[in-house]
Structure formats: structure tokens, C-alpha cells
Amino acid sequence: MCGFVGFVNLKHDLQNRREILTRMTKKLSKRGPDEENFYLAPGVNLGHHRLIILDAKNGSQPMSEKQGDNTYTIVYNGQLYNAKELREQLQEKGYTFKGYCDTEVILKAFIEWRNRYY
């Protein structure tokens, strides 16, 4: 089982908190012993420990996707049961995929359908 940690404060630059994020993420090492990664941005710090089940090469997290002026980033733990169907819908809309993990499907689905709800 993967695990993730993070903190958000959009009023302060958190990039200088790498040491805290690293310690928090290390606590998850038994949950996801295969890979450790971080995402640091001015108001967001995310850490992820991964247990690789699908797509060792392209399923690393935190996963980011840039579209226009925006960058979207996800950390995720779970299984998307309709990933195949969503991937097909997104491909019909012109999206391409680097791999076959469900995290990439969720990220691109959010990008595609975010305006329906925001």
C-alpha cells in the first residue's frame, strides 16, 4: 500500500521545509518500500512512498501535468476500477498517456472535467 504526506499553506512559501517533509515521508517507508519522491512548490509540499504494482516506469508520484499556464499535481493511494473506460474517453478527447497507471488517468480526468464543478 502506498502512502503520502503533505502540507499546504498558500500564504507562505513552504519550499524551505524540505527537511520536515523528508522526515514525514520516511515514516511511510514500510507502506511503500519501492520508491520515494517529493513535490515542493511555494505553497504546497507533498511526499510519497510507493509500493509498485502497476507501471514501474511511468507511475511515479507525485505526478504532475502541465496544461496551459497551470500545473496539476497528484499524490494518490488506491485503485481506480473504471480506469480503462476513462482512459478511452480521454483518448477520444485527444489526451495521450505515458504509461498505464490509474494515477495518470485520474490526473488527466481531473484536468478535463474540473470546469464542470469549479
Q: Does the annotation mark 101 as catalytic?
A: no
- Residue 92 confidence (pLDDT): 97
> Which one is catalytic: 2, 101, 107, 109?
2
What CATH code is assigned to 3-116? 3.60.20.10
Considering the entire predicted model, what is its pTM? 0.88
Give CA–CA dist 64/104, Å, rounded: 9
7-11, 50-54, 105-109: which range is least confident on average?
Answer: 50-54
Look up cell 504509461; give the residue: 99
- Residue 15 confidence (pLDDT): 86
- Residue 35 confidence (pLDDT): 94
Statement: residue 61 has pLDDT above 70: yes
Cβ neighbours of residue 61 closer than 8 Å, sequence gap 6 or more: 2, 4, 37, 48, 50, 74, 75, 76, 103
Q: What is the pLDDT of residues 70-97, one digit of tens each?
A: 999 999 988 899 999 999 999 999 999 9
